[in-house]
Amino acid sequence: MQELTPEQSQQLQTRLHELLSSLQQQLEAAAEGARTVQLDQSSVGRLSRMDAMQQQAMAQATVRKLELRLQQCRAALTACERGDYGNCRRCEEPIGYRRLSARPEAPFCVGCQR
Ligand SMILES: [Zn+2]
């Protein structure tokens, strides 16, 4: 896989900053959703218990997914500061621009992700 050019690296770094704030907003909204379900279940009782539990489990799964992406995003920004952004954290080969432009926070190359 090809190493990133300085322009590509700069562009992805800008996208990482945007992604970071977008993920933080999504996480706040998702965490709010997870709490709301709990409230509905105890105070309103409109949803059946099963529905409420299912909705809450889904909201919690979303929260976990967002937290993971946020963590990867922060790690990628730290890598930018160190100057080793774009390299796989397992095999240390370049991840490649195509994959990073789809997912700028990706910590692994396609091979190691599997
Ligand atoms: Zn790898």
Task: Assess if residue 1 is contained within a domain.
Answer: no
Ligand 1 centroid–CA 96 distance in Å is 10
Q: Which domain holds residue 105?
A: 6-113
Task: Assess if residue 62 is contained within a domain.
Answer: yes
**pLDDT score recorded for residue 34:** 81
Q: What is the mean pLDDT of residues 91-107?
A: 96
Ligand 1 centroid–CA 80 distance in Å is 18
Task: Assess if residue 30 is contained within a domain.
Answer: yes
- Say how many C-beta atoms besides its own lie within 10 A of residue 107's C-beta: 18
Rounded Cα gap, residues 11 and 15, in angstroms: 6
User: With bands split at pLDDT 50, 70 and 90, how would you rate the model's confidence at 42?
Assistant: low
CATH number of the structural domain spanning residue 25:
1.20.120.910
pTM of structure = 0.82
* Overall number of domains in the chain: 1
The residue among 3, 16, 112 whose CA lies nearest residue 71 is 16
Ligand 1 centroid–CA 104 distance in Å is 15
Q: Is residue 64 left, alpha or beta, with left meaning phi > 0 and alpha meaning psi from -120 to 50?
A: alpha
The residue among 93, 95, 89, 90 whose CA lies nearest residue 109 is 95
